[in-house]
Amino acid sequence: MKSSVLPPCRGPLVSGLAALMMGLLLATPYAYAQQRNPLQKMGQTVLDEPAVSYRFERFVIDSPDQQRRWRVNVAIPAKASKTPAPVLYALDGNAVAMVLDQPLLAELAARKSPPVLVLIGYDNDLRIDSAARTRDYTAWIDRADDESGKTQAVGGGAAAFLDVIERRIKPEVERRANIDHQQQALWGHSLGGLFVLSSLYTRPAAFQYYLSASPSLWWSQGAPLGDVEQQFVQNAHGQPAKVWLMLGGAERVGDRGKRDMSNPRVVAHLRRIGGATPDAAMQLSERLGNVPGLSVQYREFPGLGHGPMLPASFHAALHELYGVTDRSADDGQPTGGDNAAE
């Protein structure tokens, strides 16, 4: 395992290579499908501010082949406590850093048991790394036609990524903070929400709290709604866990706002997401509610589309888990048109 506390290199050569890589990324329909602006950067966040109620420690994990790098930012309460702390592991960590602010961190730090926040992102300055998350967050390989009618095969790396979290990220977090192993939570949005569910299905003891927001149940022609879910529902042995499924109201009714139907990429994406009904997450919550050992809550956010659900669901997760003020009502505009992280 390779760890680093240094900021990423920002020299001209690196910038030029990054621009070239992003140009290649934009050439793929899957990158476009993930978000409308694949080049959006993080900008200034709490990670760049002086530590007040929380301090941030950073480390980087390399894949065995040295081809992938995960950047992990760990928010640790500034006031040390001898009591083990609950911990929230959050996917799309770069985007989550943009959701946090000092007042929210101060409120978390004031709790009786302030949580440790683990932001798992990628070692770049992108808000969302579409190609990387598509590979890591999906348990099924997706084979679908792009806008040119050419079949693309992507995804399928969720099991390997969960191994990275369990065997490499968690031990490093636990070296830096005193963690309560009975209060571990996993949050994810969109493809990240799908990863939360596949983790629940395959390793339900890895976390005690699973928070899945706007899960991409359409992935691979609805494969997440197939055999793996059915086997979990039928063969669960009572492993206790609390599960939250969250969905935007506009998502549930299939309102995806105005789309340019003359754009073949848009048409290809809409064809792909037809693999599941818009209300599939709501229906899934009902089925999971019958699984022994699971406590399942479904929450719908009136009027919200897919993109605004990222900050709204993360704020809601902090409220549900740690009792801080629920800020989700202040996130985004009530619209179905933003699919920023589908």
- The catalytic residue positions are 190, 251, 306
Please, which residues have CB within 8 angstroms of residue 303's CB and are 6 or more apart in sequence? 248, 249, 250, 334, 335
Chain centroid offset of residue 146 CA: 24
For helices 102-109 and 309-322, the axis angle rounded to 10 degrees is 20
Q: What is each CA distance from 13 to 10, 16, 18, 182, in whole angstroms?
A: 8, 5, 9, 45
d(CA 78, CA 293): 35
Q: Supply angle C-alpha 25, 31, 37, rounded to 5.
A: 90
d(CA 234, CA 236): 6
Please, which residues have CB within 8 angstroms of residue 144's CB and are 6 or more apart in sequence? 151, 152, 220, 221, 268, 271, 272
DSSP states of 280-311 as a string? HHHHHHHHHTTSTTEEEEEEEETT--TTTHHH
